[in-house]
Amino acid sequence: MHQLTVAQIAQGLREKHFSSVEITQHYLDRIAAKDDSIRAYITVCPERALAQAAAADARLAAGNAGALTGVPIAHKDIFCTKGVKTTCASKMLDNFIAPYDATVVENLDRAGTVMLGKTNMDEFAMGSSNETSFYGTPRNPWDQERVAGGSSGGSAAAVAAQLAPIASGTDTGGSIRQPASLCGLSGIKPTYGRVSRWGMIAFASSLDQGGVIARNAEDAALMLQDMASHDAKDSTNSGQPIDDFGATLNDSLQGKRIGIPKQYFGAGLDTETGNAVQAALEQYRAMGAELIEIDLPHTELAVPAYYVIAPAEASANLSRFDGVRYGHRCDNPTDLMDLYMRSRAEGFGDEVKRRIMVGAYALSAGYYDAYFRKAQQVRRLISQDFQQAFADVDFIAGPTCPQPAFKLGEKTSDPVAMYLEDIYTIPVSLAGLPAMSIPCGTSHGLPVGLQLIGRHFDETGVLQLAHQYQRATDWHTRTPAGLE
């Protein structure tokens, strides 16, 4: 049953091949049996899930079910869930139970999905390997000595290990696309503003965007459909009409123009990864798309700009964790300063603390213009690069990551080496564009991701591009060995 795609599960439920309670129980059993080694979940909620499943079965029986009613899913532990612990993988929120649901959770609950649990992640979504989690590091199901990527590493590990058919994630600089790439999955980061940020614990507000990690593009389209909404509670949520994201999945790519940025194939790109991506691009040519080399001249400035903007926003976003109203509080504070200094030092992990300090530095008196303002200007240059490119092409494609999954601990000693992991995903985040990573081959036996980038709000096109590739290839159907 765990080999079924979401589309197949939905069909199976409607045709009464199995009930939601049955498939939910099946997944709960798998999680109980296998997650000790994978560590994809921070919290599993069997009772809540089975109750939701029973309600979904009733809806299915009554004939008022939606497309995803009864389908088990997992949520990244960054989305607040009423009554279920929401930790952001931080000691700071180890005891935090939100008194409200994130809009994403509310939307998917309303659609009738069943939440199996909350997935592991980098602490406050800061990381590219999930090694900053307070709850241990999820393993890459393809090679358990390796990382699943981050920050949505738990969601990727859960879907790759078939401990959930699909999961939500969030992406600030690559946190959906990179783990999807490393785990051989299809992950979509929608346009900034497409999915509500209400109840999604903020890392960097102008970059954070919720999305989906799935086994294929068709499933991703289904879940995104129920996830996206217009939300008056999020000022940055877009009022753009919510398209039928799957509308053109089966349409031909004949005549579509795909831009290939030369900067995405330079030094630092692993040879086998590059080869796999080139082969995928040739596949597109074979399907009738036109490949056009494009120039994104400011690409190499994206990582530096990002590592000013994201920490600066985070430094303020994380000030609320002060031990006063919720979250970790140190024992016996001697005075106010001590309460703040120790509660925050004890509650946050090293990477989070580093980023807060870098952010505070970049905003502080005398450095604002040289760092923060400069980074915001460079952000515009990067965004303009894309705008110019999209005048000539419909999509942009290239590798998601410079290399496949790396070993646990390999990059923890050097923050900068870890940051460069996101060199191809960060520019897209700065520009707020929709992008997807889909599996397109292997390097050293590990999955390689192809990144597909669209114009603002063209998730439909990006999903079509992904689905057409998946109709012609079978990389997305491969699963890691040993987890049957």
Partner 1 sequence: MAIDKHEIDKLSRLARLSVSEEDSADVADRITRILDLVDQLQAVDTTGVAPMSHPLDAVQRLRADEVTELNQREAFQAVAPNAEQGLYLVPKVIE
Partner 2 sequence: MSWETVIGLEVHVQLATQSKIFSGSSTAFGAEPNTQASAVDLALPGTLPVPNAKAFEYAVMFGLAVNAEIGTTSHFERKNYFYPDLPKGYQTTQLEQPIVGAGYVDLNLSEGRTKRVRIHHAHLEEDAGKSLHEDFHGMSGIDLNRAGTPLIEIVSEPDMSNAEEAVAFAKQLHAIVTSLGICDGEMAQGSMRFDVNISVRRPGEPLGTRTETKNLNSFRFMEEAIKLEVERQIDVLEDGGKINQETRLYNGDTKKARAMRSKEEANDYRYFPCPDLLPVILDEGYVERVRQNIPELPDQRAARFVSDYQLSDYDAGILAADRQLSAYFEAAANNGQAKLCANWIMGDISASLNTSDMSINTCPVTPEQLAGLVARIADDTISNKQAKKVFELMWSDGGSADEIIEKHGMKQVSDTGALEQIVDEVLASKPQEVANYLAAEESKRKKMMGAFMGPIMQATKGQANPGMVNKILAQKLNALAK
The set of catalytic residues is 76, 151, 175
Among 41, 134, 142, 198, the residue binding partner 2 under the rule CB under 8 A is: 198
Residue 199 in the binding site for partner 2 (CB under 8 A): yes
Piece of the chain touching partner 2 by CB under 8 A; list 191-199, 217-225, 386-394, 445-453: 191-199
* Pair of tokens at residue 97: 């139970």
* Pair of tokens at residue 426: 């960060």
* Residue 48 interacting partner from partner 2, partner 1, none (CB closer than 5 to 8 Å by kind): none
Q: Please name the amino acid found at residue 291.
A: L
* Residue 18 interacting partner from partner 1, partner 2, none (CB closer than 5 to 8 Å by kind): none
Collect all residues with Cβ–Cβ distance below 8 Å to 484 and sequence separation of at least 6: none
- The number of residues that bind partner 2 (CB under 8 A) is 43
By beta-carbon proximity to partner 1, the closer residue of 40 and 105 is: 105
* Pair of tokens at residue 272: 């086998």
Residue 247 in the binding site for partner 2 (CB under 8 A): no
CB-count exposure of residue 400 (10 Å: 0-12, 13-18, 19+): buried
By beta-carbon proximity to partner 2, the closer residue of 16 and 320 is: 320
Residue 441 in the binding site for partner 1 (CB under 8 A): no
* Residue 329 interacting partner from partner 1, partner 2, none (CB closer than 5 to 8 Å by kind): partner 1
- The number of residues that bind partner 1 (CB under 8 A) is 75
Q: Which helix (H) or strand (E) holds 160?
A: helix 153-160
Piece of the chain touching partner 1 by CB under 8 A; list 124-132, 277-285, 354-362, 440-448: 354-362
Alpha carbon distance 10, 214 (integer Å):
14
Collect all residues with Cβ–Cβ distance below 8 Å to 68 and sequence separation of at least 6: 6, 10, 108, 111, 112, 113, 222, 223, 226
- Is 166 within 8 Å of 152 (Cβ atoms)? no
297 DSSP assignment: T
By beta-carbon proximity to partner 2, the closer residue of 206 and 278 is: 206
Piece of the chain touching partner 2 by CB under 8 A; list 95-103, 134-142, 261-269, 466-474: 95-103
Distances, alpha carbon 135 to alpha carbons 90, 215, 241, in Å: 8, 25, 39
Residue 472 in the binding site for partner 1 (CB under 8 A): no
CA-based nearest residue to 1, from 135, 162, 144, 151: 162
Collect all residues with Cβ–Cβ distance below 8 Å to 43 and sequence separation of at least 6: 77, 84, 85, 87, 117, 118
Piece of the chain touching partner 1 by CB under 8 A; list 66-74, 127-135, 250-258, 317-325: 317-325
Among 79, 135, 192, 475, the residue binding partner 1 under the rule CB under 8 A is: 192
Nearest approach in angstroms of CB 482 to partner 2 is 37
Alpha carbon distance 271, 357 (integer Å):
36
Residue 297 in the binding site for partner 1 (CB under 8 A): no
Alpha carbon distance 108, 142 (integer Å):
29
Piece of the chain touching partner 1 by CB under 8 A; list 46-54, 96-104, 219-227, 387-395: 96-104
Distances, alpha carbon 322 to alpha carbons 329, 337, 341, in Å: 8, 10, 9
Collect all residues with Cβ–Cβ distance below 8 Å to 373 and sequence separation of at least 6: none
Distances, alpha carbon 239 to alpha carbons 195, 199, 261, in Å: 11, 18, 31
- Is 124 within 8 Å of 130 (Cβ atoms)? no
407 DSSP assignment: B
Q: Please name the amino acid found at residue 180.
A: A
What would the x/- binding string for partner 2 be over residues 328 to 347, using CB under 8 A?
A: --------x---x-------
By beta-carbon proximity to partner 2, the closer residue of 233 and 478 is: 233
Piece of the chain touching partner 2 by CB under 8 A; list 51-59, 60-68, 202-210, 459-467: 202-210
* Residue 430 interacting partner from partner 2, partner 1, none (CB closer than 5 to 8 Å by kind): partner 1
Residue 197 in the binding site for partner 2 (CB under 8 A): yes
Going 178 to 179 to 183 to 185, the CA torsion angle's sign is negative
What would the x/- binding string for partner 2 be over residues 147 to 186, using CB under 8 A?
A: ----------------------------------------
Region 346-385 residues binding partner 2, contact defined as CB under 8 A: 360, 363-365, 368, 372
Site of interaction with partner 2 (CB under 8 A) = 79-80, 86, 88, 93, 96, 98-100, 102, 197-202, 204-206, 232-236, 312-313, 315-316, 319-322, 324-326, 336, 340, 360, 363-365, 368, 372
